[in-house]
Structure 1
């Protein structure tokens, strides 16, 4: 039996094709998911990777062998499967490896209503079922039916954010040859719905899972260079960069500068609080301190959370939060079944930008108060021991706050850092923020020296 621990991660199923993930295994996963879910029907979506059609078909064969029907929605983004699972009220599966290189593929699963599935909420049970052998179903097989949901998805998003009355905007969109090139024209263009006051300049809209231009991973600044140049060259008002499965979106201002995701969190939070005063807003431990400050000033209730979509969605459910945001570019909406959608986040920013006359740099600037390091990774032999050692060094320091919600967070008022372990690698991830660059860099250097064993 293959070691499924390398394939079934904390939040999804992902590995290299065909050595870690192949159609034979997809059949078993489809059968196990169908039996585990107890559903009559499952909806599936797939991305543009060369292996995705075969894997999706194999998964459907496994599911139908258990008497479960499969609604095949074809090509789509990850947030489209969340829409489908909510809209159709059935479990969903999307075949994608997000921002990973071309040799990878995987599956993200959700329950009806787009409820998340992670290790503790189904993935461990599905893995056990596969390892023990999925029992045969004694009854007629299910059916596979194709259904186009792209128009319904686009229409639903447009109902949530009205862009029809904004001032004309020129927007460059870099899809990175990923699913943004499929869904952006439907939502922001005029392919299916009435045209919007947007002039779209497309970059790499051709669907190509080999990613011939650059990786579809906007977290890496190198993958934003083409978009930054294009925004300036075209005199655009903004640029949008989507990852491979288009569930995350990053913004570039009119000067070609990246807009901090935390500023986007704060901007969208104020817009949502204007609709629902006093509502809760969830943010994670590496999001800028400006977010809870601005949420409080806007009359909302800031709720701090661990990093990761399953934790974010759980906290949103517990507090009936209207919105949640992570500094990694994931944005969650109560009106979208508490699921994350980069497209809806982009629409909120465009609505805010087009509803006033200032450029995006000034608009985003009012939500940016501090200086951040960005995430810095350090490979260490024993992450847990290193984390404890660093934490102990601050335990008795006067005027310092220490907590362990998600790794280690040490705060000196507006100056703070978070150090947390990777879920998959022997690595610690460090984020530092401060009121000015000098103090931030000084703390960054100090913590890195402790983590990497170079402190004097």
Structure 2
């Protein structure tokens, strides 16, 4: 049996050769045997293969003796929400997020929506799939569960509704599932939504919903300008990531959104801890300190950030990849809470999004993440370390290599999944220096790669 759909954090593969109903049924059985779950939330995204895979998964869960609570078509965060909110033993979301449309996958959590990844059960589930199964003495039950209203109530709890003012917001669901939530939230908010690619459609008539690809941003940016909107928001297919555009239609790097959200959240909580990734840090450190919080660095990746947030009892965690995590959301990532907080900030401050962001870009210009295919990543990173650690203020290995000087710093790390090295460079209020050092590092990497 082909089990190549099992990855480090989740399952993803092509349908039907890497993932299909037959395998999904066995995964359901294995999930129950490995975790011991008795009550499991199941939800699925808009992909055409999702209903069949979900039905087979549910059959497997029930055959192994677990009760299935089907929350239907939803986003990944609704499975997280329902699992923790209703005190379930676990949850499984059938989704391939922003992968090609002939793919599907699963994201799994245990009690309190703690992630299940390769180091805490996912590999055991994979190995168990290969063995024969016997039915449980008592079959599990199946019931549907309506979670949208409780979930929407929870989302609205993050903002002060009385401080909101009418404004126009462009929202691009990319024909994923986010539009269904916007339609529910709309009834409670004074905003006018301009809806782009709004209807859920697993055929993806406008391409796979992945706003991180520059070619997928035009529709949102154009609509912002055409309608004179205060901002634009775009989501990936299962809407656990959201991306922002200012009132000029400019795409905002996720790094600056982390700082803005940390600042807005700490204003509400009056302090607390914020977890961030090590790729770009100075802007976040600056804003968190100014808002009376404490910034703590964690290895990149949702399993690491969520665990560190639990360990530190952090109120918020943010990655520049547009994943934002909230303590009151079971330490999970949400693509809905961030835009609500930023809309609230625009209403409260009377400022434009560009004016909030421009000052930060000026203070800490950044290269954005640059990927390079490298034959021998460890060799190249070691050589860069040897060269640049001379005279450096600090060298850190929390995630890859981070080297800091007085007025610029960089992070260089290997991808977990492909032979590429990812570079991020930032400076203190010196764009020319940032650009010069970025170019210098890229040339050095090219030179080392050919030697």
SS at match of 1:452: helix
SS at match of 2:194: strand
Q: TM-score, normalised by structure 1?
A: 0.94
The offset of 1:272, in angstroms, is 2.2
Distance 1:160 1:278 in 2: 16
Q: TM-score, normalised by structure 2?
A: 0.95
CA contact (8 A) 2:280 2:424 kept: no
SS at match of 1:152: helix
Matches within 5 A, 1:358-369: 358-368=351-361, 369=363
Indicate yes or no: 2:85 matched with 1:87.
Answer: yes
SS at match of 1:73: strand
Deviation track 1:96-132 (CA, whole Å, cap 9, x = no partner) reads: 111112121100011121111111121122112123x
The offset of 1:39, in angstroms, is 1.7
The offset of 1:164, in angstroms, is 4.6
Counterpart for residue 354 of structure 1: 347
CA contact (8 A) 1:394 1:402 kept: no
The offset of 1:287, in angstroms, is 3.2
Counterpart for residue 432 of structure 1: 425
Indicate yes or no: 2:379 matched with 1:385.
Answer: yes
Indicate yes or no: 2:110 matched with 1:111.
Answer: yes
Counterpart for residue 214 of structure 2: 221
Distance 1:287 1:184 in 2: 31
Distance 2:126 2:263 in 1: 41
Distance 1:87 1:212 in 2: 35
The offset of 1:276, in angstroms, is 2.8
CA contact (8 A) 1:163 1:350 kept: no
Match 1:174 to one of 172, 182, 192: 172
The offset of 1:399, in angstroms, is 3.3
Counterpart for residue 122 of structure 2: 123
Distance 2:434 2:360 in 1: 19
The offset of 1:375, in angstroms, is 1.2
Counterpart for residue 442 of structure 2: 448
CA contact (8 A) 2:278 2:300 kept: yes
Counterpart for residue 30 of structure 2: 32
Match 2:329 to one of 317, 322, 336: 336
The offset of 1:30, in angstroms, is 0.8
Match 2:409 to one of 407, 416, 433: 416
Counterpart for residue 97 of structure 2: 98
Ranges in structure 2 where 5+ consecutive residues have no aligned partner: none
Counterpart for residue 146 of structure 1: 144
Matches within 5 A, 1:207-218: 207-218=200-211
Counterpart for residue 14 of structure 1: 12
SS at match of 2:412: strand
SS at match of 1:100: coil
CA contact (8 A) 2:392 2:403 kept: no
Match 1:236 to one of 229, 238, 241: 229
SS at match of 1:245: coil
SS at match of 2:105: strand
Match 2:309 to one of 304, 312, 316: 316
Aligned length: 447
SS at match of 1:342: coil
Return 339-348 or 441-450, whichever deviates more.
441-450
SS at match of 1:119: coil
Return 286-295 or 46-55, whichever deviates more.
286-295
Counterpart for residue 49 of structure 1: 47
* Residues 31 and 218 of structure 1, relative CA distance in 2, 3 Å threshold: same
CA contact (8 A) 1:31 1:66 kept: yes
Distance 2:254 2:58 in 1: 37
The offset of 1:134, in angstroms, is 5.2
SS at match of 1:317: helix
Deviation track 1:202-233 (CA, whole Å, cap 9, x = no partner) reads: 00011112321133111112211110011010
SS at match of 1:388: helix
Indicate yes or no: 2:158 matched with 1:183.
Answer: no
Ranges in structure 1 where 5+ consecutive residues have no aligned partner: none
Indicate yes or no: 2:270 matched with 1:277.
Answer: yes
CA contact (8 A) 1:289 1:414 kept: no
Distance 1:389 1:324 in 2: 32
SS at match of 1:84: helix
Distance 1:367 1:242 in 2: 23
CA contact (8 A) 2:280 2:411 kept: no
CA contact (8 A) 1:32 1:134 kept: no
Give the 4+ runs in structure 1 shifted more than 4 A.
none
The offset of 1:376, in angstroms, is 1.3
SS at match of 1:8: coil
